[in-house]
Amino acid sequence: MVIKKEKIDKILEGYNKKDITIATLCSHSSLQIFYGAKKEGFKTVGIAKKEVPRFYDAFPLSKPDSFIILDDYKNITEQSDELLARNTVLIPHGSVVEYIGSDIYENMNIPVFGNRNVIGWESNRDMERKWLRHGNIPMPEKVANPEDIKFPVIVKYYGAKGGKGFFIAKNYDEFMKFKPSAPFTIQEYVVGTRYYVHFFWSPITDDGYRISRGSLQMLGMDRRDEANIDEMYKLGSQEYLRTLDVNPTFVVTGNVPVVLRESLLQKMFDYGERCIDASVELFGGLIGPFCLETIVTDKLEIKVFEISTRIVAGTNLFISGSPYSDMIEKDLSMGRRIAMEIKKGVELNKLSEIIT
């Protein structure tokens, strides 16, 4: 159950808008989020587990002003009073829901940047598919029944984070070797090169790239680095490695920067726009950062195989700007863009439209 918007609005009304604190959990893209927040003049608080993490000391420009320490992230609501007293907005990066738990996250009374209603649409792969189809966005084919596997597929668990437990199968026999136990989806394995495109949608600004509501920005692109799939080829072919019981896995360990063929940019923006338009129709719009995870084929088609509805870790490459954001303004990271949006929300008295 998502907390009532009126409750959050009421909390926001009570906030001192000139003294807002930006908070997030100390992981994933927190260095970037704090870096951007500090640049925009916000107070910052890091929410950490068990103890104050030491690594922030190494990066003084990203170290939050203070920390709140929890025994377990699931206990975050114990600190609600403290957080509200500090006029806190929580930035939900890609690990926040996983760490807090979606039930607690949805229902807690701490104001969150973006639209909490997006959760149901991203954690369930059928809902995600429905959303993308609603936007008429090209996706890899879905295979309903394992018996129907006639081309290479990738099998993904629902809500799996960081690619854990994914596997590839080229036919029914290979599928049966893995026999997934949790809810899963079977997707065509599209061959091509991957681009993870970092978008930001603002419902409250209308300069730059205007879409039917608000405006859209592309701030960068990365490619995810996955163990073991990305480097296991160095040891031998997959067919051979299988005999050594070395099988492909898809655990995200980091990111590398990329740029996309310029002639494909317009199509990418079109898909970003359709994704937003569909989200507005289906659940009021996702608001803020999102990432289209795409494969470009040798026919220069773009297939969106997944959508991330929050700041993705690939943006950590671009803490001082990317080849794309540099064409908007200098030193524009996704972390800073989020802080700028909150600032804009205050200025325009539209915080309520971007916080839930």
Q: Contacts with a second copy in 198-227 (CB under 8 A)?
A: 208-210, 216-218, 221, 223, 225-227
State yes or no: residue 330 binds a second copy (CB under 8 A). yes
CB of 240 to a second copy, least distance (A): 6
State yes or no: residue 234 binds a second copy (CB under 8 A). yes
State yes or no: residue 320 binds a second copy (CB under 8 A). yes
CB of 306 to a second copy, least distance (A): 16
Which residues fall within 8 angstroms of residue 261, CB to CB, at 6 or more apart?
Answer: 296, 300
Within 155-184, the residues that bind a second copy by CB under 8 A are 162, 168, 170
What mask, x for binding a second copy by CB under 8 A, covers residues 78 to 107?
Answer: -----------------x------------
- Rounded alpha-carbon distances, angstroms, from residue 227 to 151, 185, 207, 250: 24, 21, 40, 6
Angle between helix 265-283 and helix 125-134 axes, rounded to 10 deg: 110
Q: 136: how many CB neighbours lie within 10 A of its CB?
A: 11
CB of 236 to a second copy, least distance (A): 5
DSSP conformational letter for 165: T
> How far apart (Å, rounded) are the C-alpha atoms in residues 106 and 5?
11
Among 20, 118, 280, 313, binds a second copy (CB under 8 A): 313
Within 127-156, the residues that bind a second copy by CB under 8 A are 151-152
CB of 139 to a second copy, least distance (A): 17
**b/e string for 213-241 if b means 16 or more Cβ within 10 A?**
ebbbbbbbbbbbebebbbebeeeeeeeeb
> How far apart (Å, rounded) are the C-alpha atoms in residues 278 and 270?
12
Among the listed ranges 51-59, 130-138, 279-287, 303-311, the one in contact with a second copy (CB under 8 A) is 51-59
- Rounded alpha-carbon distances, angstroms, from residue 17 to 87, 92, 352: 8, 20, 12
Within 54-73, the residues that bind a second copy by CB under 8 A are 54-55, 57-62
